Amino acid sequence: MKLIIDKQKGFYYKEILLAYQKLYEEKIMNVKKCIITSSFPLNEKEKELISIKMNSFEEKNCYLQITNQIDKSIIGGFSIQIGFKKLDLSVKNQIELIKKQFLN
């Protein structure tokens, strides 16, 4: 902290604090951010069910911090992103896959 102030880099304080918080959550508390994109808002029960299923694919005993994003263009279903991993179960993605098969 003193080094940051001495070097007049105080404007980086917030970014440094957020980076340490993220490291603490990921490494110590085993929290992973999970973004679920759906065409409608998910209720808490649906989020909990998805969290339980995704924990079987992710590390055991990790806590998923779920954020629900709404995107009407996916038509139905949902996509899940945890870190760099993405599972796309949307109707839009299924249509795109079928379209690619017909074009090839």
Domain presence at residue 76: yes
Report how far residue 56's alpha carbon sits from residue 54's, in angstroms, rounded to the nearest whole number. 5
What does pTM read for this prediction?
A: 0.73
Domain presence at residue 11: no
Domain presence at residue 56: yes
Average pLDDT over residues 64-86: 92
Domain presence at residue 59: yes
Report how far residue 76's alpha carbon sits from residue 70's, in angstroms, rounded to the nearest whole number. 11
Select the highest-mean-pLDDT range: 21-25, 52-56, 91-95: 91-95
Domain presence at residue 18: no
Domain presence at residue 5: no
Rounded to whole angstroms, what are the CA distances from 32 to 35, 50, 51, 60, 61?
10, 14, 11, 12, 11
* Domain count across the chain: 1
Domain presence at residue 82: yes
At 2 the pLDDT is: 65
Query: Which residue segment(s) compose the domain that 62 sits in?
Result: 30-103
| pLDDT classification of 19: cutoffs 50, 70, 90 | confident
Rounded to whole angstroms, what are the CA distances from 96 to 74, 85, 93?
11, 19, 5
Q: DSSP strand E in the chain: where?
A: 31-38, 63-70, 78-82, 85-88
At 38 the pLDDT is: 95
pLDDT tens figures, 80-90: 998 888 999 99
Domain presence at residue 21: no
At 58 the pLDDT is: 63
